[in-house]
Structure formats: structure tokens, C-alpha cells
Amino acid sequence: MVSSVRSRNSIFRPVDIMVDQFGKACQLLGQCLILLFHTLKYVIRGEIDWRETWRQSYKIGVESCIVVSLTALFTGFAMSLQISRELVLFGADTAIGGVVSLALVREIGPITAGIMVAGRVGSSVAAELTTMMITEQIDALKVMRVDPIQFLVVPRFVAAMLMMPALTVYAMALGLVAGILIAYSAANVPAATFLDSVKQTILDRDFGTHFLKAWTNAILIIVISCAIGLRTRGGAEDVGIATTRTIVWTMTMLFVCNYIITAVTYAPR
């Protein structure tokens, strides 16, 4: 009898875990939507602490340049090397620039910058706000009649909306530089031929999709990290849990929203 109950529990345990995770996801979604609503309310009203915004812009943008540079450069190297080898086999070496630039503008640039900023900035924001919650600094702000959303979230939100497009363009440019170098060394394609293929391939809507993904990534990173940070209580262990949750949920949503935007903007007509 006991063994049958245990086997039954082991069978239904994955279902319980899925239900529990689904409930947590719905709860987090609600928290993020509420936080985004209040944040946009302050932004629309112009109630922004610009001094703190510029400080956060430096932390989000300038201090992320190194990791974004390395990731974008070597991603561009690897991708360009694979594309160059395959297109040379089919005698389409003059199309290398167009294929590489399409991948960089539509996918690689936004997702590379988004992942790096999510890992570096999102985890830092969640850990900082969680620590402030645990040490009751957020409660102290409320006692002084200071809205934590206006004081802590809005500057980070505005800074991310300003810096993420710049980082994605920067990642795309480095990827193109890597593509030019690899195309010349691996397929003997001159830089002029590479850039001419880029001009003939890239359309205006590709840049529109690029910036749409950049702003979507900025919203996801800041809203998810702040929502988790402002709703976590407990002790030192909860700081690590909140940081892990932030990275997992942010990166998951980055890929999900990246696919949705691509599917909507490039759907067959």
C-alpha cells in the first residue's frame, strides 16, 4: 500500500512541479505588468531623476561595452566563418556580406547585447533591490513618502531604453567588422564587395525590427529584474535565489519575444 502511494506520488510529481511553475510564472507576469504600468506613468509625466538616470546609463551602457564587444566580435567571427565556407562551396561568395549582415541586423546584434546586459545588469539590479528589501531600505523610503518605483525603477528603465539600442548597434557593427575580416581571409572577398552586398540586402524594415527588439529587451531586463527584486523577502539565501530567477526568466523571455517579433515582422504575405 505504501509503495503504491509512493509510486503514485512519483508519477504525478512532474505535473505538480509544472503547475507550481506555471503559477509562479503567472504571478510574475502580473507583477511585471503592474510595475510597467506605474513606471510608464512616471515616464509619461516626466517625473524622472535625470542625474540618477545618467549614472545608470553609464552602468548599463558604458560598463557593458567590454563584454558586448568580446561576445559580438567572436560571434561574428564564428558565424562569418561558417557562412563563408558554405557559400564558397556553392560559388556564391559575393553574397557573404548580405547573409552575414541579415543575421546580424535581425537576430545576432539584438540577442547578443540583450543576453550580455541581462546577465550583467539584470542580475545586479535584482541583487541590489533584493538586498534593499531584506535590509528594509525600501520600507524606509516608503516611510519618507518616496515611491520606490519612481526612485529606483524609473531611472533604470529610462537608462536601459537609451542604452540598449546603442549597444545593439555597437554589437552589429563589430559583427560586420568580424565578417569583413573573415570574408577576406577565408574566401578572398574584398571589403568593397562585402559592403556592396550589405547595401543591396539590408532594408529599412530590418533596422526597424532591430530597434524594436532592442527596446523590447530593455523593457524585459529592467521590469523582470526590478519586479523580482522588489517582491523578494527573507535572508541572504534569497538574494541568490532572486538573482538566479532573474537571469532564468529574463533570458527565457528574451528568446521568446525575439521569436515573436521575428514571426510577426517577417510573416509571409
The number of domains in the chain is 1
Q: What is the model's pLDDT at position 269?
A: 55
Worst-scoring range by mean pLDDT, 124-128, 168-172, 200-204, 217-221? 200-204
Give the pLDDT confidence score for residue 43 in this predicted structure. Answer: 94
Q: Please check whether residue 127 lies inside any domain of the structure.
A: yes
Cell of 160: 536601459
Q: Which structural domain, as residue segments, surrounds residue 207?
A: 52-265
Q: Model confidence over 59-116: pLDDT tens digits? A: 999 999 999 999 989 988 888 888 888 887 777 777 888 888 888 888 888 998 999 9
**C-alpha cell at position 180:** 569583413
Contact present, 110 and 213 (Cβ < 8 Å): yes
C-alpha cell at 212: 524594436
193 within a domain of the structure (yes/no): yes
Residue 12, H or E segment:
helix 2-45
Sequence-ordered alpha helix ranges (H) in 46-104:
50-60, 65-89, 96-103
Query: What is the DSSP track for 204-267?
Result: HHHHHHHHHHHHHHHHHHHHHHHHHHHT--SSHHHHHHHHHHHHHHHHHHHHHHHHHHHHHHT-
Is pLDDT at 163 greater than 90 in this prediction?
Answer: yes
> Is 206 a member of any domain?
yes
Place of cell 532594408: 203
14: in domain = no
Q: What per-residue confidence (pLDDT) applies to 1?
A: 46
- Quote the pTM value: 0.87
Is residue 26 in some structural domain?
no
Calculate mean pLDDT across residues 115-128. 90
pLDDT for 5? 46
Instruction: Cell 559580438: give the residue.
Output: 72
Determine the average pLDDT of the residues in 231-235.
77
Q: What is the CA radius of gyration of the chain?
A: 22
pLDDT digits (tens, 9 = 90+) for 29-64: 888 999 999 999 999 998 899 999 999 999 999 999
Q: What is the mean pLDDT of the chain?
A: 86
Structure confidence at residue 2 as a pLDDT band (50, 70, 90) = very low
pLDDT at 268: 65
Does the residue 122 lie in any domain? yes
Residue 235 lies in a domain: yes
pLDDT (average), residues 216-242 = 87
C-beta separation of 246 from 126 below 8 A: yes
How large is the average pLDDT for residues 222-234?
A: 87
Over residues 188-224, the pLDDT tens digits come to 888 888 888 888 888 888 898 999 999 999 999 999 9
pLDDT of residue 267: 66
Of the candidates 1, 249, 246, 2, the residue with the CA atom closest to the CA atom of residue 128: 246
Residue 41 lies in a domain: no
